[in-house]
Structure 1
Amino acid sequence: MAELTRRRLLGGGAAALGVVGLGAAGIGRATTTRDEKSRIVAIHGNHQAGIETEPQAFAAFVALDLRPGTDRRDLVGVLKVWAQDAHRLTTGVAGLGDSEPELAEDPARLTVTVGFGPGVFGPGVFAPDDAAKLRPEWLRPLPAFGIDRLEDRWNGGDLLLQVCADDPVTVAHAVRTLTRTVRSQVSVRWVQRGFRNAVGTLPEGTTMRNLMGQVDGTVNPAPHSPEFDSRVWNPGSPLWLAGGSSLVFRRIRMELDTWEELDRPARELTVGRTLSNGAPLTGTAERDDPDLDAVDRNGIPVIPPESHMARARPRNADEQFLRRGYNYDDVDGTGLLFASYQADVDRQFVPVQQRLADHDALNRWITPIGSAVFAIPPGFGVDGYPGETLLEG
């Protein structure tokens, strides 16, 4: 009887498992095919993906250094490997030699963006005369700002991988795949991981908030607009960079303990915006134009001239750029990974940052502790790789 019961259980179990298996298979198919095109961001084109792309929920910024003895041929090899693996990973296919191929099945809007630091133009890759002509003038460390407390462990880098997706597992797996395959030519200098709100938690198009509670990134050029094109994409100075951009990457620590001691009105005066919806203190909606000349009945400016918004507001069209930041919260503290993209760092970013460094009311609660500048090469085709306009020109 016990054996009969066991057989019956096994038979019933097998039948049940067959039904469950069919259901699971159906669920699996739905998972991998649900609105699949919306889960894939095209990697090839005139511009690299990951800049004009609607920001994903998670990001990892990885700076790498060329190992001693790495020459141009080695660098081209690294970039070709990245181009091939990035194409596979962004379409839900495992990278070559991937030991965990199942982790690549859902691309989750994965993008991989490659950048060049000043070290790419060193003597190992270019002759000095060629490097001087090819390296953008702004591709160097930012000027020393009085508010900076930079730590070497968060600064610089010869190469950058910006990896973004709507799933942290996808990001982690892509970073591992892309760095593991090229370790003989490059070494990881630092990795900084950030996050925004998870997909589906906020209406589409909602501006992110940083961990101080501020709406962060309101004044951005609209994607796919003439304003975006002129502010973000390099027109060809130098020629190889046409269609590319630049990235200023800053790690900004937040002093939340003392920030939280302020009452809400004091925080809003510091920022220059209403915290509930990001509206300027002279308006009612986030994207209302602020009236910096407005005063109250006592003649006091409604928006303090030293508030963050007033200091950051562009003084001319050149002082506009794209902000695509991510929060961080780890054992080293809490803050913002500030990523700024522009055609020319010196003309667009530096004047605004200098103004903020000189006299921004928010400086008491934020401290830049990391800084790096990268040139972002233009896009590339199916048979190409990022930076081919530089390295094969």
Structure 2
Amino acid sequence: MPGTSPEASENRPAVARRALLTGGAAGVGTLLGLGAGLGIPALRDRGTPQAGPPGGVDPSPEADRSSGIGGELPGFGGEALPCHGAHQAGVTTTPPAAHARYVSYRLRPETDRDGIRRMLRILTGDVEGLASGTGPLADPEPELAARPARLTVTVGVGPGLVDRVDPLKRPEWLAPLPPFSRDRLSGQHDGGDLLVLLQADDPLPIAHAARMLARDLASFAEPLWTQQGFRQARGAEAGGTTMRNLMGQVDGTVNPSPADEDFDGLVWIGGAPEDASRDGRGGAGAWLEGGTALVLRRIRMELDTWDQVDRPGREQTIGRRLDTGAPLTGGDEHTPVDYEARNALGLTVIPSFAHVRRAHSEDPDERIFRRAVNYDDGAESGLLFACYQRNPLRQFVPIQRRLDELDLLNEWVTHTGSAVFAILPGFEPGETLGAALLE
């Protein structure tokens, strides 16, 4: 500027910063006015959660004109999902979140039964605050929690935690899976005493929630491993579209739906005798009524060599078309596979080694509810295969054994991590997560 020395120009940023920090009420008023002019929302009272309807808020312009809590317009990213109910949020939440982070913890040696009780009480308050958009108690950055983007926090427990409470309460399936011949478990993503699963449509509330939870858990447990995954962003494809994995395959076509009549019997642990016994020990499953069993497998994909296989070869490996996900026996993605169909040479259209044939079972109880996400950490890519069921030994293990024996897809995938957790039942306002375990 004319009449301004170079030294003055160089010092202007420092002067501006000092004015910002020491400008008093007038400076604050100016900044608030600037924020309003830019459309930045004013900080709201943390005691007023920005809750939305159970299914979230439609991100359409029409929805933005509707009235939100306190007169605010949540819009896309402002939706808050309820965390209370018979089951924890995040297992069957629809549509599935775009981002997921699994965090496993190891209990500290001094964390006893009373310590676990205190830890679960603190976790309960954190879940309620983070899901509602108000943040947990003493959150130093509540603004980062204010846009939860359908954040859900799902808590599970491992065998070690249950044993510290009462070994007689641990179901037989709550243990490392039996070995599979093709597993190459590294030990870096295996097991754990406590699991926190964070899911949202935006990675920011996940990052903030993970930090707040780690802070509050530090006295009771230490981080063991973290895994992050993603799927297509909500709105990027039509609702109900099956996700694709990084091999380009439609992933998860044959999957039970919460709307199915037999879904509860496949996924949620109830009062059936088989759920409440372990080697004849009555009551082992009573504390899990309303919960479920989670199997999480880290599956590395060898994408470089997969890309070298021609398209017909890749489709024969899977048993489905890559473009539509339809079975090679015809129809669309959701047409049942005809395992008896034969080609002109008399050979079965779905080869004996095809992935869909190896995963298929005639036993209707041998099914799982899958919620996989992709991962790509720069060094490797693959799938975080998560599935829920009543009993992994009866549902997941038989499927995985068949895949382990003769699935041609094994040439391009390697299982490098494995964990089993009991997902705690849901809870109501005023209750504590996992209270039944400690009774």
The TM-score with structure 2 as length reference comes to: 0.81
**What CA RMSD, in Å, does the superposition of the two structures yield over aligned residues?**
2.3
Deviations 1:231-278 (A, max 9, x none): 110123211111110000000000001000011111000000011111
| Structure 1 Cα separation of the partners of residues 33 and 373 of structure 2 | 45
Partner of 2:86: 46
Shift of the alpha carbon at 1:225? 3.1
Fraction of identical pairs, as percent: 49
Contact 1:52 1:224 survives alignment (8 Å): no
Contact 1:292 1:305 survives alignment (8 Å): no
| Structure 2 Cα separation of the partners of residues 273 and 223 of structure 1 | 25
Contact 2:43 2:143 survives alignment (8 Å): no
Number of residue pairs matched by the alignment: 375
Partner of 1:62: 103
Partner secondary structure for residue 252 of structure 1? strand
| Structure 2 Cα separation of the partners of residues 169 and 156 of structure 1 | 26
Show the 5 A alignment for 1:127-276.
Answer: 131-132=167-168, 134-236=169-271, 237=275, 238-276=285-323
Deviations 1:2-30 (A, max 9, x none): 99xxxxxxxxxx99x96883461579996
| Structure 2 Cα separation of the partners of residues 361 and 28 of structure 1 | 55
Partner secondary structure for residue 82 of structure 1? helix
Partner of 1:9: none
| Structure 1 Cα separation of the partners of residues 203 and 34 of structure 2 | 32
* Unmatched 5+ stretches in structure 2: 4-28, 45-63, 276-284
Shift of the alpha carbon at 1:81? 1.1
Partner secondary structure for residue 24 of structure 1? coil
Contact 2:78 2:146 survives alignment (8 Å): no
Show the 5 A alignment for 1:1-393.
Answer: 21-22=36-37, 24-25=39-40, 33-35=73-75, 39-54=79-94, 55-122=96-163, 124-126=164-166, 131-132=167-168, 134-236=169-271, 237=275, 238-392=285-439
Shift of the alpha carbon at 1:34? 3.2
| Structure 2 Cα separation of the partners of residues 233 and 283 of structure 1 | 34
Amino acid at match of 2:139: D
| Pair 343,38 (structure 1): closer, same or farther in 2 beyond 3 Å | farther
- Which runs of at least 4 in structure 1 moved beyond 6 Å after TM superposition? 26-29
Partner of 2:61: none
The TM-score with structure 1 as length reference comes to: 0.90
Deviations 1:60-86 (A, max 9, x none): 001101100211111111111111111
| Structure 2 Cα separation of the partners of residues 385 and 262 of structure 1 | 52
Shift of the alpha carbon at 1:94? 1.7
- Bigger drift between 36-45 and 93-102 goes to 36-45
Shift of the alpha carbon at 1:196? 0.5
Contact 1:59 1:193 survives alignment (8 Å): yes
Deviations 1:332-386 (A, max 9, x none): 4100000010011111111000010011010000000000001111111111222
Would you tell me which structure has more helix in proportion to its own residues? 1
Partner secondary structure for residue 188 of structure 2? helix
Amino acid at match of 2:403: L
Shift of the alpha carbon at 1:289? 0.3
| Structure 1 Cα separation of the partners of residues 309 and 181 of structure 2 | 24
Partner secondary structure for residue 299 of structure 2? strand
Amino acid at match of 1:228: F
Contact 1:253 1:368 survives alignment (8 Å): yes
| Structure 2 Cα separation of the partners of residues 28 and 200 of structure 1 | 28
| Pair 247,18 (structure 1): closer, same or farther in 2 beyond 3 Å | closer
| Structure 1 Cα separation of the partners of residues 350 and 417 of structure 2 | 30
Partner secondary structure for residue 144 of structure 1? coil
- Bigger drift between 29-38 and 306-315 goes to 29-38
Amino acid at match of 1:83: T
Shift of the alpha carbon at 1:36? 7.8
Shift of the alpha carbon at 1:151? 0.9
| Pair 38,204 (structure 1): closer, same or farther in 2 beyond 3 Å | farther
Amino acid at match of 1:309: V
| Structure 1 Cα separation of the partners of residues 297 and 108 of structure 2 | 24
- Bigger drift between 352-361 and 235-244 goes to 235-244
Shift of the alpha carbon at 1:37? 11
| Structure 2 Cα separation of the partners of residues 216 and 277 of structure 1 | 11
Partner of 1:7: none
The answer to which structure, 1 or 2, has the higher relative contact order (CA under 8 A, 6+ apart) is 1
Partner of 1:11: none
Amino acid at match of 1:72: R
Deviations 1:70-125 (A, max 9, x none): 11111111111111111111111122122221110111111111111110123x43
| Structure 1 Cα separation of the partners of residues 404 and 198 of structure 2 | 29
Deviations 1:186-207 (A, max 9, x none): 0000000000011211111111
* Unmatched 5+ stretches in structure 1: 4-13
